[in-house]
Amino acid sequence: MAEPGTTIINPDAWFNPDFHWQPAPEQGLAFDLEKARQTLDAAGYEDSDGDGVREDKSGKPITLRLWANTDSLPDQSEGKLIAGSWKDIGINVRFQILDAGAIDDDFWNYEGGTFIPDYDAYIASTLGYADPGATVLWFTTEQMGNWNEPCWSNAEYDKLSTEQVSVMGPQRRAEMIWRLQEIMYEEAVYPVLTYPRNLQAFNIDEWEGWTPLGFGGGDGPGPAFFTSYNVETYLNLKPTGESSGGGSSMTATVIAIVVVAAIAAAVVWSVIGRRSARKETMDEA
């Protein structure tokens, strides 16, 4: 019940234009453990003593903390797979399943008045905005310590993110958002694992007027209820026979990501994600 992921903007959610950018086959980052080993070797992270664990530039064995949320069995399964792959290429992993609050405490860690995130990697799910231009703003330099969890900075990304907000032409704005995704993909800032399909089930025998949220206008894919973006169902829903209308099971899409601290970027991947609970809290605010 998921599709392989590539970028932070979902496919098949927006139409005319589609704001999702998909890398060309020759541009895609394939799963290749041998190439990963070669890349680490070339970067100077080698297993000099032959114990199966690579050392950092100071000669210390590399151990990464990888976390998954107690509330997500898929995240936990994915974490085990990722930990196994990292060990295969010589990275020692301490895999833990933690409460979201504990993960948040370590991410938003301060020493005095200085923001010093204390984590290496975690897996999470994230929900973007109905306007993809608001989602890409998460990763600007000024969002460090807030939404920019990788603490990543890129001058071209900052400039385009700011400019796309005020561009009125949909096609030109889409081109800018495509480029923003491409920059993040090329720098491996936010490895997107999958686009899971969150199913909604509702009774069409006894109720009618279910109205799915379609980002491109009309009855496109999206949730029919339990979302702050969609009020139509609550206006239209009535017992069968009292009004015209109908409904069918629709899906809402989220992104599963692996979050890696920027400080560890040179070791395996560069970075990061955010949990949907934070996004929901922001919506409510």
Mean local confidence (pLDDT), 259-269: 37
Q: Does the pLDDT value for residue 186 go beyond 50?
A: yes
What mean pLDDT, rounded, does the chain reach?
83
CA distances from 24 to 174, 188, 229 (A): 17, 15, 32
DSSP 227: -
Domain boundaries of the chain, sorted by first residue: 2-197+253-284, 201-249
Rounded to a whole number, what is the distance in angstroms from the first to the last CA of the chain? 31
Distance between CA 67 and CA 79 in Å, rounded?
7
**Residue 127's pLDDT band (boundaries 50, 70, 90)?**
confident
In the prediction, which pLDDT does 272 show? 37
222 pLDDT band, cuts 50/70/90, is: confident
- 182 or 210: whose pLDDT is higher? 182
Q: Which residue has the higher pLDDT, 114 or 250?
A: 114
Sign of the torsion angle spanned by Cα atoms 41, 271, 178, 183: negative
Which sign does the torsion angle of CA 68, 30, 36, 154 carry?
negative
Which of 179, 185, 182, 174 is CA-nearest to residue 131? 174
Smallest CA-to-CA distance from 255 within 188, 178, 192 is with: 192
CA distance 123 to 77: 10
121 or 281, which is more confident: 121
208-217, 246-255, 261-270: segment of lowest average pLDDT = 261-270
Instruction: State the pTM of this model.
Output: 0.77
Residue scoring higher pLDDT (252 or 84) = 84
8-46 b/e (C-beta count within 10 Å ≥ 16 → b): bbbbebbeeebbbbbeeeeeeeeeeeeebbeebeeeebe
Distances (CA, A) of 69 to 72, 101, 123, 249: 6, 9, 7, 28
Query: Above 50 in pLDDT, residue 251?
Result: no
Region 155-165: mean pLDDT is 97
State what percent of residues in the chain have pLDDT above 70.
81
Rg (CA), the chain: 21
Residue 282: pLDDT band (50, 70, 90) is very low
CATH number at 2-197+253-284: 3.10.105.10
Segments in 60-154 forming alpha helices (H): 73-88, 100-107, 132-135
Rounded-to-10 torsion of CA 157, 160, 163, 167: -140
Mean pLDDT of 195-209: 87
- Mean pLDDT over 81-102 rounds to 96
CA 159 to chain CA centroid, Å, is 22
Q: Is the pLDDT of residue 267 over 50?
A: no
Alpha carbon of 185 to those of 34, 95, 205: distances in Å? 20, 25, 45
Reported as a single tens digit per residue, the pLDDT across 22-70 is: 999 999 988 999 999 999 999 999 999 999 999 999 999 999 999 999 9
Work out the average pLDDT over 116-140. Answer: 91
pLDDT at 201: 85
Q: What is the pLDDT of residue 256?
A: 54
Q: Check residue 198 and give its pLDDT.
A: 77
**pLDDT of the residue at 245:** 44
Distance (Å, rounded) from C-alpha 82 to C-alpha 84?
5
